[in-house]
Every structure is written in structure tokens, then in C-alpha cells.
A and B are shown apart, each in its own frame.
Chain A
Amino acid sequence: MRRFWAWVLLLSTPVLALSGDEVLKRVEARPTPKTLHGKMAMELINKQGKRLTRELEIWTKREGDVEKMLIKFLAPPDVRGTAFLVIQKGDREEMKLYLPALKKVRRVAGGQRRGSFMGSDFSYDDISRLGNLRSADYQSKLLREEGTFYVVEATPKPGVASAYERLVIWVEKPHFDVVKIEFYRKGALYKVMTLDEIQTYAGKYRIPTRLVMENKKTRHKTVLLQRELELDQPIPDSVFTERFMKR
């Protein structure tokens, strides 16, 4: 009998109204890959519509509380080979930089978390929020349901460092995919991120493959396209080393 009720509860969850917090928890509960390797095209579009494209190759790996990320520039040709290595252990972060013209790896110090991700309109925080929207950091409220979307307002809890005052998040019902986030700062809409292509990998991972971030103040826009993605394929630790950066 108890199992029966458990089944009823589980099956009926999607139809019962969820709280904002529950929606974010469901988003957070989606599986995330342990490793990811792929290519990324980054298109920077200024307010006059001029485009600048960069291509990167990315390797990421998660083991316990250690996250490693290596980014190598493939294009434009004059920056090909420029590499960044970020190793995050809990709150500690180590970043290294390799510029082929100097043929030297340099350790980079300084708070970069709130800074721009590779010179785009995305910040490091925005990027990491995609994979890991820590619901515990936010005070959330379900604003409304729009067709197949939950619209949730998330406000950072006191003491949580955030570049934004408030987020409004659109979550698509069947998969709990985040499809759009509005970022508010000083009472005004600051940035809008839309994830307009989301693909399923390995039958379980929902990965956005086209992301657009528009800064409403500067009218500058970044489009990220992810392709040739390999998930959960073993990546040796030797990738996240100075030697590999120089290669």
C-alpha cells in the first residue's frame, strides 16, 4: 500500500502545481556529465551588427569537488593555440594562461568569477550556472505557468555573492530545461540569455547547443554554438597540464 501511494505521488508530481523552489530543485536534479569535450563557436555581435567569431575547444572534467576546464583557441588564426586552464577546488581557483607568441605559461591571479567568460557577454558565473543552478542559493517564487513553461523568480539569498539582484527563469516542463533567463540589476533588465537549441546526449543529458546572451544596456550580443560534443568520455588528467596547454 505504501508503495502504491509512493507511485501515485511520483506520477502526479508533474500535474500538481510546483513551488518555485521545487522547479529549481528539479532543474538541479537533472543529470550532468562527468566530462565534456567539444568545440565552441563564439560569435560576438556589437550593436551595429558587426560580428567577430572565435572558435574554441573545451575539455571539462568533474571529480568530487574538483572541476577542471581547459580552453584552447582555434580561430582566428592569430590567436590559435592560446590556452586557459582553470582548476577549481571548492572555493579555491587556479588559472593558467598560455600565449603561443610568448611561449610561456603564466599563472593568473585575481578574482575572475564575475568577469566575462572569454571576452563574451557571458560571465563565468552565467556559464557555470547552466550546469549547476544551486537552488539553495536562491529564494524562489513561481511567478506563473506559461503553456509548457514554469516562470520562476529567483533572488539570491543574503550573503550569496551575485552580480544580479534577481533572475527570472523560464523552465520547460517535460525535461525541466532552462530555456531563458532574464538577469536584473539595479531594478532594470540587464541581460537576457536564451537557450534555443537543447539536445539530448547519451539518452539522459540535456545540453544546450545554442546559447544567446544579450546585454540590454550595451546592446552587445554573444552567440555560443556547441558542437562535436563528447560526454562522459574519459579525459586523462594529462589534458589539464601545462604541457598539454603548449601542445
Chain B
Amino acid sequence: METLSRFATRRPWPVILLFVALTLVLGSGLGRLTFDNSPESLVPPELPAYRLFDEVRETFGAADVAIAALEGEVWSPEGLASLRAATEAVAEVEGVLGVTSLANAQRMEEVDGDLVIEDLLPERIAPSEIPQIRAYVDGHPLYAHRLVSPDGRYAAVILELDTSQDMRRLNQALYQAFKAHWQGPVYLSGTPALSGYILETIQRDLPIQMTLAALILGLILYLNFRSTRGVLLPLLTVAVALLWSLGLGGWLGFKLGMISSILPVVVLAVGSSFTLHVLNRFYHELAAGKGRAEAILLAVRETGLGVLVSALAAGAGLAALYSSSIPQIKFFGLLAAFGVLVAFLAASFLTPAVLSLLKNPRRLPDPERPDRVSRAMQKLAPVVAGNRHRALGLAAVFLLVMLLLATRVQVETSFLAYFPKDAPPRVATELVDRVFGGSDTLTVVVEGNLKDPALLQAIYRFEQEAKALPEVGSAISIADVIREIHRALTGSYGFPSSEEGVAQELLLYQLSGDPEALTRFITEDASAALITVQVRSLPTGQMKSLTEDLKELAKRTIAPFADAVEFTGTTVLMLEVMRLILHDQYVSLALALVLVAFFNALLLRSIRVGAVSVLPLGLTIAGQFGLMGMLGIPLDTATALIAAIAIGVGDYSVHVIVRYLEELKNGEDPGGAVRTSLYVSGRAVFFTALAIGGGFMALLFSGFAPIQTFAKLMGFTVGATALFALTVLPAALLVWVRRYRKEAGNHA
């Protein structure tokens, strides 16, 4: 490592050119980087619920339904004509697999002994016909309250969508198609609106957050170095790291979603600390009167191990996220780890190379000169030394209390709560919830002989009981279709008495519409059917218990007559995602802690030191979860990342250890070693914590609540790790690491 850094100092141009070349090559992938926050980006493809979702999509055409509400005078010739034009227009939008509205609904009823099968809306709508059409719709269980609100102020357009589409494009295309034909307000709820909004927000927020993070970092770097160079060099290295990792993501075809959009800020914040350490030491050596070349070498040599260990730990913590089953988190972990390692490489080689080309600054402030911060650190040392057992005892109590509080952490997300109150998709979703009884859909797949009247009766009973639940707006299936046909044919609601009767009524329905009309409800061979349950948009906890209730209900009503009853749909998938996040959380956390301890033990050549080194991290993570339990912050897709990222950012305490061991090696007694360590490294830890924490504060300006919460928690995390690194860590070192083998110090 040191040899390489020396090479970089002696021959800076080849190194700089190499970095420039690689930056150009990898950075050119930036243009290929796309955004995606579709359910697919969150759901592991091998998940059984996803396989079912996919099967349903293949068999029935669409498993994801979005509802648009059009506000205006629906029951007027103009309103209905506009609705028809809008329905036809959205049907042509790419990604729309099916559209249902009053405009393409069918009328099937008995009129004067004739069976009338025709389009609900005639070609030309006369005002005098409207009351009759309205009366028919109001009495129709498939249409009333589902396709039009009881007061006639809102018409619903139910869209079946291909979820693999670019949701932002789809959302815009849908909106334009509606607006071209409908004069009144248009409210789009469902996945495309929500995902489209998320993607728009990410693209708007990303440059702002990056600029803000760079500004905050710049300010803190300036406070530390008081020179332009001290600001620009660390920012240069993180810019390189950012270009490499985002570019690599582009080349590998990764897509950024809501979670992975924090990648740039993570790389900026974490990566900047490496160069900060190197520069700190460089200026210190320069101020001490060393020549430029020597100062660079000394800086790299002295800080190299600490920077290497913290880079590896950060990389390991982030890479541990690759064990996640959620694709978006996986890619985030991989790219963030890569970015952090690039930042390390840039700090170790690019920084020395650039430094060797620059003239020495005229003013030479020593960043390691005793200032208020280092004096405070110096005062801290004896306090810690004197109370080391008490400090460890307090840490143990803290750990216990926090772990206890952590048991109260809820895994719960209200997807809607992610969005600001006035965000169009939130407004639309709340409106559809209110007017049409639900914007979310649960899909129940029933397998069996769907021509069996007993099974149809069972499905109908399930629907009736489901609709009695306050969270359920509607539930429809082939059973409702057959009841309608049966009424048109016989004059009374019910089901035919035989399988033949069902088959013939189904045939009649098929003959009266297009061949695909029925396949939204039932397979052509009548071996499987869908029940679409429209529910209000609920927080995951309530949604989970509602799903459980409905499953129980299905088991009681349908299961005795069917071969299988299964639940799917985007909502069910999201519940699965939440379950996986919780599960992954423990895996990636354990993995990350073990990896960090392993690297620390390996590089510092002592298992005991490795174990002590993860103490601040362990306490911080317990603190995070305790805090979340205490404040009722739920574990969701964003907050689930904090533990792993904490490990990534929090390992600057290693600098304290490295210095402590150096001093022991140089023959200093443990007490003196702690004093020197805190005096020299304490200031660096303080400013690193400030820089990293400050960088994360840029995320406070995110358009999403979970990302803002994440930023606040990161603030706590960075502060806590620094606090523990400066108090509990030295105490633990004094108690458990009092000797250090001499030869062990000849590191890296």
C-alpha cells in the first residue's frame, strides 16, 4: 500500500491519468442509469407470492389495478360522452391491458320478455335515456358505487396495468389521455401514480441533495482545514467515487429507486472521511516542518492503516446488504460498498498524486494543533480513565435498556404516509378510498371446478362477508357476473342448479362480449377464477391483519368447495417485502458486525482488539433500535438500512484504536496511550463525525418521510458512534487491551 502511494507521489501524472481514464470509462455509464421503483424492484423474483402474482398476470392479463376518479357531472350526455372518449383514449396507452368504466360496460337485462344484451351507453346519448341508464347502474352490483359514485359526481375508470412498464411514463401518458377528453379534475391512484410520483421526486431531489451534501461537507472541511484545498481535495475524491459507482450501476443495468436514491449521499458522506484523515496528517507534518514529499509519505503511512480498516469495515457493512433478498437494497449495498472502496483508493493514491503536484500552501495551519476540540479531548482522557469500569457498566445498562426498547419496534409502513399531504397521488388515493370504498386491491385466486354452483355460492358468501368489513369497499368475481346473467335470464338473483346451467350462462356471457371479457374473472376452461377485493389504503399492520381475516374467511367459506385458495396482488407482495426486510435486517446486521470484527482483528492482528473494536458499533445499533422502539419509528424499507449503514459510517473509532496501539507499541503505558490517542485522533473523529453526519442531513430535504426519518436516525447514529468511540472504547481498551505485541504493529 505504502509502496503504491509512494509511486503515486513520485509519478503523479500516470496515476492521475489512470484515474481520469477510469472515471471517463465508468462515468460514461452514468447516462445508462435509469430509475425504477416498480414493485419488481422491491420483490425478489423467487418469492412464492411473486410467482403466484406472475402466474395471475399471465393467466388473467393483469394483477395490478389502478383506479382513476374523474370529477364532474357524470350523468349528462356530455359527461358520458367525455367518459367514453377518455376510456377509449386510455385503452390505447401502452401498458394498459384493460379498461373498465361505464363507457364500455354491458347491459344485460330482461325488457318486456326480451333478453337485452347491449352496450350500456348507446352510440348517441339522449338526455331522456339517462335516468333509465342510471337506474340500471344503481341496481347493478358490479357497477353501482364501483364505476360511479352514488351522487354522480365521480366516475371511476378501472385500469389493469402491466407493472413492468416505466411507471413515470405510464402515469404521464394516462394523465394526458384523461385530460385530453375530460374537462374536470382527474385523480389517478394506484401503483403508476405512486411510483411515477416517487420517480419524479427522486429525480428532483437527487441533484438538490447531492449539492446540499457537498456544501455541508465543504463547510465542515473548511472549519477543519481553513483552506480551499482542504475543501476541494476530499470533494474531488468523493466525486470520483460517485462517478465510478453510479457509472458502474449504469453499465450493470441497475435502476435507482426510492431506497437506492440515498446512494450518492452515502458515498459522499462516508467517502469524504478518508481524504480528511490523510490531509489532516499531511498538514500536520507540513506544519511540523517536513518537506512536501516526506509529509505525503508520512501522512499515508500514519493514517493508512486506520483508513484501510475503516474503508474495509464500511465496505463490508454496506456489502452485507447484498445478502438482502430485496433487489433494490441488494444493488444499493453493492454500489455503495464499491463507491466507498473507490473513495478509499482515491484517498490513498489520487490525493497523494495531486498533493505532490500542488505547491505548498502559503499559510500552514496545523489541523492537529491543539485547539478547543483537542483540548477538550485531552481533558476527556483522565475522566474516562478514572471511570473506566463505571463507563463500561453504564454501557452495559444502556445496551440492556435499548435492547428491551428495541423489542417494541414495529414493522409497519403506511405507503401513503411516505407522501406529503398535498402530493397528487396521495390526494387521489384518499379520494378513491372515500368515494369508491378502496384504492388498493387484494386478489384472491380460487382454483377448482368453477362451474360447480356450490363453489360459486361459496365465493358469493365470501364476498358478502368481506364487504361487511369496514376496510373493504367491494368484492367482485365471476359469481357476481353469473348472478347478473341469471337474473336477466330468469328474473331472479341466484345461481343455476347444475354445472351445465353455469356452463351455458358463462357461454352466453362469452358470446355477448369479446373473447377476453371473461378471462379477467375466470380461465377459459373454468378451472381458476379471481376475486378482486377493493380495500382502503391501510398501514401495513392493519393490512396484514385484514389479509389474515380474509384468509380465514376464505378458508371457512370457499376452501371446502375449492382445490386451492390463494391471496396475491401488489398489496400482498408489499407485505411480503416488509416481512423480508425484517428478516434480512438481522442477517445483514449480524453479517456486517462479524465482517467488521474480522477485518479489524485481521489487520490489527488481535482477536481481542477486533472484538473491542465493534463495541461502539454494537452500542450504537442497539441505541438505534431502542430509539425507534421508544419514539415509535417503524422499521420500513428505508430505516431498515440504517444499521448496515451505521457500520459503514461508524467505524472511524478505529482511528482511536490504531493510535492507542501505536502508543502501546512505542512503550507508552495504557493511560498515556489513551491520552495521546484521544488528543491526536479525537479531533479527527470529531470532525469526521461532523462531516458524515452533516452530509446525511442533506437527506432531510427529501420529499419522502421515510428518507427524512432515515436522515434523523443517521444523525443520532453518527453522534452516538463518535460518543462511544471517545468514551466507552477507551474505557474498554484500558480494561481489556493493556498489552500489544510489538511485532504486531508492523502493519500494512
| Residues of A in contact with B (beta carbons under 8 Å apart) | 44, 46, 48, 50, 52, 73, 76, 78-79, 82, 84, 97, 99-102, 106-112, 115-116, 118-121, 186, 218, 220, 222
Contact = CB atoms under 8 A, between A and B. Distances in A.
B114 A108 contact: yes
Given A82-B504, A110-B118, A222 B490 contact: no
A50 B501 CA distance: 24
Given A108-B114, A115-B514, 17 more contacts: A46-B524, A52-B525, A78-B504, A97-B115, A99-B505, A101-B496, A102-B496, A106-B114, A108-B116, A108-B117, A110-B107, A112-B118, A118-B511, A119-B507, A119-B511, A120-B515, A121-B515
Contacts of A222: 515
A109 B114 contact: yes
Contacts, number: 92
Nearest to B98: A218
B115 A218 contact: no
Nearest to A119: B510
A62 B520 CA distance: 38
Contacts of A111: 118-119
Contacts of B59: 48
B493 to A, nearest CB: 15
B470 interface: no
A100 B516 contact: no
A78 B503 contact: yes
B489 interface: yes
Interface string B109-152: 00101111111000000000000000000000000000000000
Nearest to B97: A218
Contacts of B111: 109
Nearest to B108: A110
Q: Which of B116, B489, B496, B500 has the most CB of A within 10 A?
A: B500
A115 B515 CA distance: 10
Contacts of A186: 92
B113 A107 contact: yes
B498 interface: yes
Given A82-B504, A102-B489, A109 B58 contact: no
Contacts of A110: 107, 116-118
A78 B515 contact: no
B511 A50 contact: no
B690 to A, nearest CB: 59
A119 B501 CA distance: 18
Contacts of A84: 511
- Interface majority SS (helix, strand, loop, mixed), chain A: loop
A94 B2 CA distance: 95
B117 A112 contact: yes
B657 to A, nearest CB: 61
B386 interface: no
Contact of A79 (B503, B519, B523): B503
Residue picked from B113, B499, B504, B508, most chain A C-beta under 10 Å: B504
B58 A48 contact: yes
Interface residues of B, number: 36
Interface in B80-125: 92, 107, 111, 113-119
Given A102-B490, A186-B92, A109 B118 contact: yes
The prevalent SS among residues of B at the interface is mixed
Given A107-B114, A108-B115, A100 B504 contact: yes
B659 interface: no
Residue from B118, B451, B490, B507 having most chain A Cβ neighbours under 10 A? B507
Interface string B44-62: 0000000000000011000
A107 B488 CA distance: 12
Contacts of A107: 113-115
A82 B512 contact: no
Contact of B525 (A50, A102, A118, A218): A50
B489 A106 contact: yes
B500 A116 contact: no
B541 interface: no
A119 B518 CA distance: 10
A73 B525 CA distance: 16
25 contacts: A44-B524, A78-B451, A79-B500, A84-B511, A97-B115, A99-B504, A100-B500, A101-B496, A101-B500, A101-B501, A101-B504, A102-B490, A106-B115, A107-B115, A108-B116, A108-B117, A109-B114, A109-B117, A111-B119, A112-B118, A116-B511, A119-B510, A119-B515, A186-B92, A222-B515
Contacts of B499: 78
Contacts of A112: 117-118, 512
A78 B59 CA distance: 23
A120 B510 CA distance: 9
Contact of A97 (B113, B500, B508, B513): B508
Contacts of A50: 523-525
Contacts of A115: 512-514
Contacts of A118: 511
Contacts of B451: 78
Interface string B720-741: 0000000000000000000000
A217 B545 CA distance: 39
A118 to B, nearest CB: 6
B515 A109 contact: no
A189 to B, nearest CB: 14
Contacts of B496: 101-102
A106 B489 CA distance: 8
B513 A44 contact: no
Contacts of B116: 108-110
Contacts of B523: 50
Nearest to B58: A48
Contacts of B512: 112, 115
Which 6 residue pairs spanning A and B have beta carbons closest together? A110-B118, A101-B501, A119-B510, A78-B503, A99-B504, A109-B114
